Structure formats: C-alpha cells, structure tokens
Amino acid sequence: MKKFLVFSLCLIVAQYATSKTYDIKKLGADATGKKSCTELINKTIEKAAEEGGGTIYFPAGTYLTATIEMKSNITLHIESGATLRFSDTFEDYLPFVKIRWEGTVMNTLSPLIYAHDADNLTITGRGTLDGNGFKWWAWEAETRKILKENGGKLPTKNQLQQMWEEANQDLEVSDYYKGSLERRMFRPPFIQFYECSNIMIENVKIINSPFWTINPAFCDNVVVHGVTINNPDKNPKGPNTDGINPTSCRNVRISDCFISVGDDCVTIKSGRDADGRKYGKACENITITNCVMLSGHGGVVIGSEMSGGVKRVTISNCVFDGTDAGIRLKASRGRGGVVEQIRVDNIVMRNIQRNAFIFDLFYDKTSKVEPVSERTPVFRNIHLSNISGREIKQIGYINGIEEMPVQNLSFNNINMEGKIGFIVDTAKEIYFNNVEFSVEKGCAWEFKNSDKIVLNNIRTKYPAEGMPVVKFENVTNGFINDCFQIEPVETFYEAINSSIIEGNNYWNNVKNAQ
C-alpha cells in the first residue's frame, strides 16, 4: 500500500512538473516599455512549446512587443499592473501570415497575437493588452481620404502595399468590396487564432485595438469570459474596432464581458460572398450572456459577412446602453448564407441612438432582384422575448428582399418606448405577442408587402396624435386578436389593400372602431 501511494504521488508531481512558468521579467525583459521584448517573448514561447507547454508570466510593468505567435498548450498570464503595449511600427508585423480579414482569407500583416493550427491556448490575468492603435487609425483615415480624392484608386503604393499586392495576386472579391481592397494593406486584428481549438481568454483588459479585437477564425471551443474591451468611439475614434467577432467558429461562449468600442460590440460572422461560400463553414453553437455593451454600432450583430451561415445562437441577460443599435442582423444579395435558430431573451436597452431591432436583407441598397441561388441570403426562425427599452430613436425594422422575405420571427413580452415605431417590409410569418410599443410620432407598427402577420395582445401607452396604432399596406392574412387598448386612440388599425381578420378584441377606448 505504501509503495502504491509513493508511486501515485510521483505521478502527480510529474504531471505538474511538466507545466512550467516562465517569468518574462526574470528572463531579461525590459519592464519600462522602452525596449522591445518581441524576440524574447516568442523564443520563450517556442521553448515552452518544445517542453510540452507552459505559462509565460508578465509581472507588473510595461512590456513593448510586436506580434506574439502562440503555440499549443501555451498560457499568457498578464498580472495586475502589467501592460503589454504593442508596437505601432507597421513593418514589425511582417512577415505576412494567413488570416481571415473582414470575411476574406488572405495573406496580410500578422495580428498582434496570432496562432495557426494550435490547441489549448489561454490568455488570462488582470493586466492590460494595449494595441496602441492610434497610428493605425490615422493611416486608415489618410488612405480613405487619398482614395476619395483619386476616384477610388491609389496613385502610389508604399512598400507594404506593394508586398500585399504581390502576396494576393489571385484574390477575388465581389464588385461590392473591390473598393475596400484598393487600400492594399490592412490594419491587423488584435487577437486572431486561425484554425485552432480549446481557447480561453479571460479577465484581461484590452484597449486601443488597431482593428477587430478578439477575432477567432475557423476555431472550435472558444471561451471569452470576464473580459473588458475599451476602444475609443470618439476623440479620437477607433474605426472598425469591433469587440468580439467569431467567424466560422463552433461552440463559442461569451460571458460576463464589458464592451465599449468604435464599431459593433459582438458580431457573429462566417465569411464574405464567394470566398465565404468556398469555405462554407457556419458560425454555430454560440452563447452570449451576462454582458454590458456601451458605445458601439450594435450590441449584438450578425453579419454582414455571413456567407457560410449562422445558426444556433442564444443571446441573454445583457444590457445595451448607448449603442447605435441593439440586436442587428444584416446581409445583402450576393452574400448568401442562412441565419436561423436564433434566440434573444432577457435584454434591457437604453439610449439606443438608431434602432433597437434590425433585420435587414437589403444592406446593399443598390442590389437588384435576382433568381434565388447560393447568392441569396436567408433570415428565418428567429425569436425574441422579455425585452424592455426606453430612450430609443426607432424601435426597429424588418427589411426583406422580393425574392426572399424575412420569415418566421416572433416577439414576445416586449415593452419599448421610442420616437419612431417598428416597420416591417417584405416579410412573412411575423408574430407579436404581449408587446407594447409606445412612440412619439407615426404608427407604433407598420406592415408593408407582407403575409401571415399575427398581432396578439399588442398595445401602445403613448399613441401619436391622429395616427393609428397599426397600419397595414399590401398585407395578406393579417390577424389581430385579444387586443385591449388602455389609452384612448382615434383608430387602432388602418388597412390599405390588405386582408385583416379580428378576434376577441376590446375597442371601448378606440374612437373609430372597425
């Protein structure tokens, strides 16, 4: 028995002995932020990986670095009081590596933290990752200005732009995005793990990202927990500095995060146009919960790069306070992809600058009707419940396309106050149950060119003077049931070239009852 216990103890000791911690400061790293530690960090990672893995430990101090390339079984632990400040010298992110950039797989500058085909990657601690993105943002603004002044063409290309062009000669994109590729060099994502698995990013604070912040691509089993992301929205503004953007990933859990950025807070993507369909990998099995979103274009967004599809997503227990939009789904003709099986529950919104809800298949307003094909995007089987909001510019809209209406959406137990109501155009199988929309002007609901609209127990608290609560135009199979308008209104609904059925309604407070 004694020999067995000794043997078991030896096994335990051996197990923990294989996991080593490397104190980067003790290894000679400059902790004042003046001298680059890039080479030391990456050599230490390589050494740890050769020994089966380990933790690269950053004690209090400031460490200047460029690309950190992680390997399997590596942990970056950034202690409280420690800051990893990344170089703003663009050439420090050479050589080019393979990444997915804004929905297209290409060879370009390395992300600030990068891994390819690695397992068991961890970034943790209470310290700060500073992307030092100010110079990147200035370059973006200047390049946009040059393109605008020269008809969308670069009159001259710097060395990095020429290198990019040579490295991506066979890259093909749709006409819609050719203009964006004319820049010929791109700000890197902060963190992109490409074709990796078993990823954990927790507790760290991430600031000033050059571009998208946490952007796993083609990854499986990703956890982002307790992370704070703060990229400036103004003075200066960090453009396109989205918070968390999984693209074509499976089994992603995002929880307990605080996000305030210069673009969308959380965005789910799966590739752009033909390139996205070529890889054909959906973003699926995604949970987003217990997060607070402040400034940003959208709280949780799906698209517009979703050509591989997005499915099985739950969004719950979140607060959106000050974002431009709340829940936003966007796509356009040519993109393709199916977005389905989406659940949104227990959300509170305030001070929404534009729309609380957006479901838009007409993101490219210049597109024309075309036959249904792999280029046709689809939104269906999406359900929202237990949501409240106030100080909202517009409650929202649904915008389908003629050949593919948005279909099978339900809104349950929702209470919203906004200046403008909810507009539905080109949709079918849309359900509102126990919903109160109160608006300052116009109708609370407007339906156009739609079929199978069911309104059950809907109402408005502050009706706009002289306006019906609901307006139908070119709607078939509309049904209004169990509606009791508490506050007096002149007209509950108006129907223009529409077939509407009523049932079990109470119109005592409706002056012009049907």
Q: What is the pLDDT of residues 336-365, one digit of tens each?
A: 999 999 999 999 999 999 999 999 998 888
Beta bridge pairs of residue 84: 63, 129
pLDDT band at 16 (very low <50, low <70, confident <90, very high): very low
Of 27, 24, 19, residue with least CA distance to 59: 24
Tally of CB atoms within 10 A around 8: 10
| Mean pLDDT computed over every residue of the chain | 94
Tell me what pLDDT residue 387 has.
98
Give the dihedral of Cα atoms 249, 251, 252, 253; nearest 10 deg: 180
Domain map of the chain by residue range? 20-267, 324-514
More confident residue, 295 or 79: 79
Give the dihedral of Cα atoms 190, 196, 201, 204; nearest 10 deg: -30
For residue 1, pLDDT beyond 80: no
Please tell me the chain's helix, strand, coil percentages from 3-state DSSP, rounded to the nearest 5. Answer: 15, 50, 40
Write out the catalytic residue numbers. Answer: 263, 297
Give the dihedral of Cα atoms 323, 326, 327, 329; nearest 10 deg: -50
State whether CATH 1.10.10 applies to domain 324-514.
no
Q: Note whether 20-267 and 324-514 share their fold.
A: yes
Tell me what pLDDT residue 13 has.
44
Of 291, 242, 243, 250, residue with least CA distance to 270: 250
Residues 148-160, mean pLDDT to the nearest whole number: 92
Q: Are strands 97-101 and 104-108 parallel, antiparallel or unpaired?
A: antiparallel
Can you tell me the distance from the alpha carbon of 397 to that of 355, in angstroms, rounded to the nearest whole number?
Answer: 8
Residues 145-174, mean pLDDT to the nearest whole number: 91
Tell me what pLDDT residue 11 has.
44
Residues 130-136, mean pLDDT to the nearest whole number: 97
Q: CATH number of 20-267: 2.160.20.10, 3.90.950.10, 3.40.50.11720, 1.20.970.10?
A: 2.160.20.10
Tally of CB atoms within 10 A around 16: 8
Residues 6+ apart with CB under 8 A from 376: 333, 336, 370, 401, 403, 404
Of 107, 450, 178, 151, residue with least CA distance to 334: 178
Tell me what pLDDT residue 2 has.
52
Residues 381-440 pLDDT 10s: 999 999 999 999 999 999 999 999 999 999 999 999 999 999 999 999 999 999 999 999
For residue 120, pLDDT beyond 50: yes
Can you tell me the distance from the alpha carbon of 74 to that of 363, in angstroms, rounded to the nearest whole number?
Answer: 41
Tell me what pLDDT residue 18 has.
56
Query: 3-state class of 86 per DSSP?
Result: strand
Residues 257-293 pLDDT 10s: 999 999 999 999 999 999 999 999 999 999 999 999 9
